[in-house]
Amino acid sequence: MQNQTIAIIGAGVMGCATALEASRHGYDVILKDISAAALEKAPKIIKQEYRSACLFNKEYSAVKLDTILSRITFQDDYSNIEDAEIVIENISENLHEKTSEYKRLAEVCKKNTLFALNTSCISITKLASFLPDPTKVIGIHLMNPVPLKEMVEVVRGYHTSDQTKEEVVSFLKSMGKSAIVIGDLPGFVSNRLSHLFMNEAAFIVQDGIATAEQVDNIIKQGFNHKMGPLETADLIGLDTVVHSLDVLYNSYHDPKYRCCPLLQKMVDAGQWGRKSRKGFYEY
Ligand SMILES: NC(=O)c1ccc[n+]([C@@H]2O[C@H](COP(=O)([O-])OP(=O)(O)OC[C@H]3O[C@@H](n4cnc5c(N)ncnc54)[C@H](O)[C@@H]3O)[C@@H](O)[C@H]2O)c1
């Protein structure tokens, strides 16, 4: 599939990292965002992600950063998106924002374009109902940081065809990723579990019985996790964590997913984790 065009919608944390990975594996990438600020920041995020991937994986520098950036077109419009074989959507975790964009994409994309949706929690079946051909829609829940995480949780919606699943698994393989294909319910496997964990860690800090550092150290040293739940929340972005908890709460109507008020307060105060340089930790 290399030398084909991939359109990536949303140039935030995940969109930039996915653009880096696709371009590094030879794809021409269109990276589209509606925010001029996000587009200006995107090459810097890609450089940072590239440098940190090189620290952990010596082979990563085999493709030079200049080559990678030369294959990515940064844009705020729909030019050439009709050339894309696959659209990877990485817009903020908000049903309205995602589905408004789908209406526009459906007008410009080819009929056989495959839509790979990167959402933390929203049902793929629900999102697919806003696109013209739900058989060509699938969830690809990429893990952060994308260059260092091989596993992708691939989510089949109600109508996703076998062909779409096979094409997406083979596309991911071409980027060095391995897929675990599962069925569709909000939060899938990873986030139904991880968001309970991060939310409860925030409740513990709110209750004042341990600091964020103590909570994370207990989990890292006691359970051999590489990262603690609050470090993970800062990495994901506390705004994204809160949006995802809201999706889980509204999907299952189960109080176990109620968002910790401290998390909501931090988001309202602009402390979104690494992306704003302050969350449970300072960066
Ligand atoms: N951050 C993570 O660790 C992580 C991991 C897996 C999945 N996800 C999911 O991936 C998606 C993106 O997350 P993120 O962390 O990159 O979010 P982010 O907030 O960093 O970036 C989202 C980007 O989407 C842009 N956007 C909004 N509306 C748009 C539109 N109509 N067209 C183009 N761009 C638009 C915003 O300007 C922003 O730059 C979310 O659904 C999130 O739940 C996030």
pLDDT tens-digit map of 241-270: 999 999 999 999 999 999 999 999 999 999
Name the band, by pLDDT with cuts 50, 70 and 90, for residue 213. Answer: very high
Name the band, by pLDDT with cuts 50, 70 and 90, for residue 37. Answer: very high
Q: Are residues 255 and 176 in the same domain?
A: no
Is residue 11 annotated as involved in ligand binding? Answer: yes
SS3 assignment, position 174: helix
CB 115 within 8 A of CB 136: yes
CATH number at residue 114: 3.40.50.720
Locus of tokens 């207990």: 218
SS3 assignment, position 79: coil
CA 255 – CA 268 distance, rounded (Å): 22
Mean pLDDT for 188-201 is 97
- Which residue CA neighbors atom 1 of ligand 1 most closely? 236
CB 29 within 8 A of CB 8: yes
Ligand 1 centre to CA of 77 (Å) is: 17
Between the two ends of the chain, the Cα-to-Cα distance in Å is 38
Ligand 1 centre to CA of 158 (Å) is: 24
Q: Which two tokens stand for residue 210?
A: 């341990």
Show the domain range for 20: 5-183
Q: Are residues 55 and 141 in the same domain?
A: yes
Is residue 111 annotated as involved in ligand binding? Answer: no
Mean pLDDT for 161-184 is 98
Looking at residue 87, what is its pLDDT?
Answer: 98
Q: Are residues 58 and 134 in the same domain?
A: yes
* pLDDT of 1 above 80: no
Q: Which two tokens stand for residue 184?
A: 């569709």
Q: Does residue 156 form part of some domain?
A: yes
Looking at residue 75, what is its pLDDT?
Answer: 98
Mean pLDDT for 220-236 is 97
Among 138, 156, 183, give the residue marking a domain's end. Answer: 183
Q: Does residue 281 form part of some domain?
A: no
Looking at residue 139, what is its pLDDT?
Answer: 98
Q: Does residue 38 form part of some domain?
A: yes
Strands (E), the chain: 5-9, 28-32, 72-75, 86-89, 114-117, 137-141, 151-156, 178-182
Q: Which two tokens stand for residue 60?
A: 């990563």
Mean pLDDT for 20-29 is 97
Name the band, by pLDDT with cuts 50, 70 and 90, for residue 3. Answer: low
Q: Are residues 63 and 175 in the same domain?
A: yes
pTM of the model as a whole = 0.92
Among 156, 183, 210, give the residue marking a domain's end. Answer: 183
State whether the beta carbon of 13 lies less than 6 angstroms from ligand 1. yes
Number of domains in the chain: 2
Q: Are residues 108 and 215 in the same domain?
A: no
Q: Are residues 172 and 266 in the same domain?
A: no
Ligand 1 centre to CA of 93 (Å) is: 6
Q: Which two tokens stand for residue 19?
A: 């653009």
* pLDDT of 116 above 70: yes
Mean pLDDT for 6-11 is 98
Q: Are residues 179 and 195 in the same domain?
A: no
Q: Are residues 61 and 80 in the same domain?
A: yes
Q: What b/e string do you get for 161-174 counting C-beta neighbours within 10 Å, with b at 16 or more?
A: beebeebbbebbee
Among 126, 158, 183, give the residue marking a domain's end. Answer: 183
Q: Are residues 145 and 76 in the same domain?
A: yes
CB 242 within 8 A of CB 198: no
For the CA of 92, the closest atom of ligand 1 is 22
**ipTM of the modeled complex:** 0.98
* pLDDT of 59 above 80: yes
Mean pLDDT for 32-59 is 96
Looking at residue 2, what is its pLDDT?
Answer: 55
Q: Tens digit of pLDDT for each residue in 137-146?
A: 999 999 999 9
Ligand 1 centre to CA of 18 (Å) is: 11
Q: Are residues 164 and 207 in the same domain?
A: no
Looking at residue 179, what is its pLDDT?
Answer: 98
Q: Are residues 143 and 201 in the same domain?
A: no
Q: Does residue 59 form part of some domain?
A: yes
Average per-residue pLDDT in the chain?
96
CB 121 within 8 A of CB 249: no
Q: Are residues 86 and 135 in the same domain?
A: yes
Q: Does residue 52 form part of some domain?
A: yes
State whether the beta carbon of 10 lies less than 6 angstroms from ligand 1. yes
Q: Does residue 221 form part of some domain?
A: yes
